[in-house]
Amino acid sequence: MQFDLDLGIAILERTPLILKAWLQDLPDEWVHADEGEGTWSAYDILGHFIHGEHTDWILRARIILSDREDKTFEPFDRYAQFDQSQGKTLAELLDTFAKLRAENLAALRGFALDADDYIKPGVHPELGPVNLGQLLSTWVVHDLNHLAHIAQVMARQYKDAVGPWQAYLDIL
């Protein structure tokens, strides 16, 4: 499937709603559970989403769409959420994410993109040449990837508790 803005936005606008419905008022044992050192909890992933709203998707789209000669993106700190989320409640993170995502989707819609815009180039600091269509497609898949990640981390909390049913549960 080629990138389609309306189909992409259909996913992107639902992610904050999904997270709020899923995580709000859950016991901390679910929200903060991880799989050990160096792994992420649902809380950490939510913080990662927020950091991306601040420093990744729309900023990089603006670079691609700009008249700048150098279209190299700033490196993205994939672990910034560990400092930036400290001391914040889950409710604060959910509200912040919903607000930022709504603002970024309004900006995206405001670009009034056409087919030619999707092939405009940018430069990822590690991956090299990319284009706007790839960036926007990645934003959608990134959301889906981390929603699956949250499900996996949470499911694995009961890995041993399910006993022999592990054989039927691919998520484990």
Sequence ranges of the domains in the chain: 5-168
Average pLDDT, the chain: 96
What pLDDT does residue 141 have?
98
pLDDT tens profile 94-110 = 999 999 999 999 999 99
Beta carbons of 132 and 64 less than 8 angstroms apart: yes
Cα dihedral 69, 70, 76, 80 sign: negative
pLDDT confidence bin for 1, thresholds 50/70/90: confident
Rounded to an integer, what distance in angstroms lies between the CA atom of residue 135 and that of residue 86? 29
Return the minimum-mean-pLDDT range out of 5-14, 81-90, 100-109: 81-90
The structure tokens listed for 151 are 């499900």
Which parts of the chain are beta strand (E)? 121-124, 128-131
Q: How far is CA 33 from CA 27, 42, 60, 96, 101, in A?
A: 10, 7, 32, 21, 25
Average pLDDT estimate for 126-155: 98
Residues linked to residue 124 through DSSP beta bridges, in sequence order? 128
User: Is CATH 1.20.120.450 the classification given to domain 5-168?
Assistant: yes
In the predicted model, is pLDDT for residue 84 greater than 90? Answer: no
Cα dihedral 11, 16, 21, 26 sign: positive
In the predicted model, is pLDDT for residue 22 greater than 90? Answer: yes
